[in-house]
Amino acid sequence: MIYDTPRYLYSGDQYLTIEIGDEMTLEANFKVIGLDRTINGAGIKGVIETFPGWRSVLLSYDALVTGAEDLISEIKNVVQEIPEIKEVPSRLIELPVKYGGRWAPDLDFIAQENQISSEEVIRIHSETIHWVGMVGFTPGSPQLMQLNPPHLLSVRKYLSPRIYTPQGTIALGGSITAIYPVVSPGGYQMMGLTPVPIYDRFQSLDIFEKSPVLLKIGDRIKFVRIDDEDEFDHIRQQVLECSYKYNIREESFSL
């Protein structure tokens, strides 16, 4: 359900969560984008940064400049109702992926859970466009929604998280795809690996000149299947040499 008016939740002494609903849908995500735009465009005193998610915006503020109650009052003056957004700028970004084999110990389990073959899982996942609904958890890590897939892939997460997930892992939890930007624990089922970074704290590649994080809410991802190990290694070498070029198209996307 999407609320008629936002709900305000205290989230520590310098954070405020503005919640617009209780469902993870594309419609809710568009409303979050509209809310985030409105707040950032209002120049509200004390606001440091906003972090848009699936159905809420987390806001950080300077507690020496403003308090939570004053901040809520100012936001309510700006946001009379949740903004209606029907179209947003949306980059279409291609990311190469090596599915299966040593990169994907859980691929067969994903296939079993969906009652299809592993090859069919790869085909569906690589042919489907994926929507970036939020970025977070670890630096630059996106959560991706499948847009109009021929079969909605879904799988249970690990009962107990593993302690090691390689950088670049592509994994599925529920119907959400995650990309692991750094080595970390994880609970999503591993299905592949990308040789290109989505987070670069050293900002070595040109694409990271303005930010160490590649993806943002509203982007769309197309996973490009790589079957050849030599091609995978060649792309990884290009990354190391800072010569890799991402295939990105500036577009828009409508509900």
Give the predicted TM-score (pTM) of the model: 0.93
Q: Which of 184, 116, 112, 99 is nearest to 155 (CA)?
A: 112
pLDDT tens sequence across 99-122 = 998 889 999 999 999 999 999 999
Residue-range domains of the chain with CATH = 2-85 (3.30.1360.40), 88-254 (2.40.100.10)
pLDDT tens sequence across 22-39 = 999 999 999 999 999 999
Q: Apex CA 36: angle with CA 91 and CA 30, to 5°?
A: 55
User: From CA 20, how far away is CA 25, in angstroms rounded?
Assistant: 11
Q: Which of 213, 31, 219, 66 is nearest to 18 (CA)?
A: 31
pLDDT band at 49 (very low <50, low <70, confident <90, very high): very high
User: From CA 159, how far away is CA 63, in angstroms rounded?
Assistant: 39
